[in-house]
Amino acid sequence: MSQESAPPESMSAGLSINAGWGIPLQVFYCAHCHSAHLAPTDVTLTTCPACLQDGLSAQPERLRREPPELVVPFAVSEESTAGFLTEWARGVRFRPDDLAPELLLRRIRRYYLPLWLVDGDVEATWQAEMGYDYQAASFREQYVGGQWVSQEVTETRVRWESRVGRLKRHYDNVAVPALEDHDRWMSRLGGYDYRARKEYSARAMAGSVVRIPDHAPDAAWPDAEGAFDRAAALECQAAGEAHHIRNWSMRAGYSNLNWTQMLAPAFVTYYREGEKVYPIWINGQSGHVSGTKRMSQRKASVTSLIVGAVAILLFFVGALIALVGAVLVAPLAIGAVLIGVSLLLGLIAPIPAMWVWFRNRSGDGQ
Instruction: Give the per-residue pLDDT at 8.
Output: 41
Distance CA 227, CA 172 (A): 11
Instruction: Give the per-residue pLDDT at 155.
Output: 87
Task: Identify the DSSP state of 260.
Answer: E
CA-nearest of 256, 116, 233 to 174 is 116
Instruction: Give the per-residue pLDDT at 9.
Output: 42
Residues of the chain with pLDDT under 70: 1-19, 60-66, 325-330, 363-366
3-state secondary structure of 61: coil
User: Domain map of the chain by residue range?
Assistant: 17-294, 298-362
Instruction: Give the per-residue pLDDT at 7.
Output: 42
Task: Check if the beta carbon of residue 37 is closer than 8 Å to that of residue 52.
Answer: no
Model-wide pTM > 0.85: no
Instruction: Give the per-residue pLDDT at 60.
Output: 62
126-141 as b/e, with b when 16 or more CB fall inside 10 Å?
Answer: bebebbeeeeeeeeee
CA-nearest of 37, 44, 38, 45 to 23 is 38
| Phi/psi of residue 352, nearest 5 degrees | -55, -45
Instruction: Give the per-residue pLDDT at 139.
Output: 74
The number of residues in the chain equals 366
Instruction: Give the per-residue pLDDT at 211.
Output: 92
Instruction: Give the per-residue pLDDT at 10.
Output: 41
Task: Check if the beta carbon of residue 279 is closer than 8 Å to that of residue 107.
Answer: no
Instruction: Give the per-residue pLDDT at 330.
Output: 64
Instruction: Give the per-residue pLDDT at 276.
Output: 86
Instruction: Give the per-residue pLDDT at 287.
Output: 94
